[in-house]
Amino acid sequence: MSEHPTAPEAHEDAAMPPEGRRRLEQFEEGITLDRFITETAQAHPENKGKFSALLRQISLASRLVSARVNRAGLLGMFGDTGDVNVQGEFVQKLDEYANNAFKRALDHAGCVCAIASEEDEGPYYVPERFHSGRYVFCMDPLDGSSNIDVNATIGTIFAVYRRQSPEGTPASIDDILRPGTEIVAAGYVVYGSGTMMVLSTGEGVNGFTLDPSVGEFFLSHPDIRLKPECKLYSVNEGYASSWTPAFRGWIEGVKAPGQGWSQRYIGSLVADFHRNLLKGGIFLYPPTKKNPEGKLRLLYEALPLAFLAEQAGGAATNGHQRILELCPDALHARTGLIIGNSGPVEEVTALLRAELRS
């Protein structure tokens, strides 16, 4: 039996909650991300190993970024590079590192033909010598960059599409700008007090915690479902003066006496989404005066998280339409985002739709 990763006495701890005991048993069974990938591939032999290669390279890049994030303060990796990205934001040193780590991990493995990144103005088409593959990879390599320098949780968000053009031919922008209904896998990695990858290949959502002592992700959160109870809302209330009356009315409603809601907002979408996914909650970022289309990016922020939310039994809209039915018209297109437990998401969306009609 594997020794990984806990001392036997931990199991004898009568005070340990059942959930903790269950997690330790999962760890002892040693269900690694690698094994999960192998078993997923066996269930889909049509993928010819390329999908597994892709997931393994994502895992590698995540571990590289995790290691770098953990040591950033020691390596002089805080702060910006002096460059400004296509979003008009200063590129942080870790943004650049994460962007390159994922591109380098993926471009030569024969599984990806194009990579779209928040940090790059245009798509990166994989050189032909690397046998450009059958998948398209879209990512925000390091979401929540403003939290880097304060050691608060940040993360990588990604979505995978199957290319539409034939393999072996040059890929194009039409392979990248696809509706969310065509996503074949999506996930994120949170670099927080621990590092965790949350992944869906379209058959539910599973969470894997990185054991840094062995450099491997282990299944720690199998079959994640949003809790039916939803009493957390995440919104930047500093923009309240930009909200429409219907939106403001809904927020005032949850704050009314006796409603029992709490507000939680980290300012890293990936971290706010992760907490809400595990505890039950709703994240809202509507259009504002500063960002009339919304701030968050459809292709590599909203769409992957919408895929995960739906796979976990939740919902995601832009305030009017289901996010997964949207197709970006540009790489860096922005959107409003209301995401989390389906009850409150549908409630806010119904109010906003009615407001639009009136």
Kindly tell me the sign of the dihedral angle through the C-alpha atoms of 183, 199, 95, 126. Answer: negative
In the complex, the smallest distance separating the C-beta of residue 85 from Mg ion, rounded to whole angstroms, is 11
Between 23 and 295, CB nearer to ligand AHM: 295
Under the criterion CB under 6 A, does residue 105 sit at the interface with ligand AHM?
A: no
Q: Is residue 119 at the binding interface for Mg ion, with CB under 5 A as the rule?
A: no
State how far the Cα of 191 lies from the Cα of 68, in Å rounded to an integer: 10
| Cβ density class 195-230: b for 16+ within 10 Å, e for less | bbbbbbbeeebbbbbbbeeeebbbbbbeebebbeeb
User: Which span sits near ligand AHM by CB under 6 A: 49-57, 216-224, 262-270, 310-318?
Assistant: 262-270
89 binds, among ligand AHM, Mg ion, none (CB under 5 to 8 A by kind): ligand AHM
**For Mg ion, which residue of 95, 96, 107, 143 counts as binding (CB under 5 A)?**
143
**Which one, 103 or 295, has the nearer CB to ligand AHM?**
295
Instruction: Please say which residue, 230 or 323, places its beta carbon nearer to Mg ion.
Output: 323
Q: Which of residues 285-324 bind ligand AHM (CB under 6 A)?
A: 295
Judged by beta carbon, residue 220 or residue 268, the one nearer ligand AHM is 268
Q: Where are the alpha helices (DSSP H) in 71-214?
A: 72-75, 93-107, 173-176
Q: How far apart are CA 23 and CA 289, in angstroms?
A: 45
In whole angstroms, how far apart are CA 207 and each of 187, 196, 199, 288, 308? 9, 7, 6, 33, 11
**267: contact with ligand AHM by CB under 6 A:** yes
- As given in the structure block, the two tokens for residue 355 are 């407001």
Q: Binding Mg ion by CB under 5 A: which of 95, 107, 119, 140?
A: 140
How far apart CA 39 and CA 22 sit, in angstroms, is: 21
Closest to ligand AHM by CB, 44 or 248 = 248
Q: Which residues pair with 315 in a beta bridge?
A: 340
- State the burial class of residue 113 (Cβ atoms within 10 Å of its Cβ: 0-12, 13-18, 19+): buried
- Rule CB under 6 A: choose which of 80, 89, 182, 355 binds ligand AHM: 89
Our CB check for ligand AHM shows the closer of 144 and 340 to be 144
**What residue ranges bind Mg ion (CB under 5 A)?**
140, 143
**What residue ranges bind ligand AHM (CB under 6 A)?**
89, 118, 140, 143-145, 236, 267-269, 295
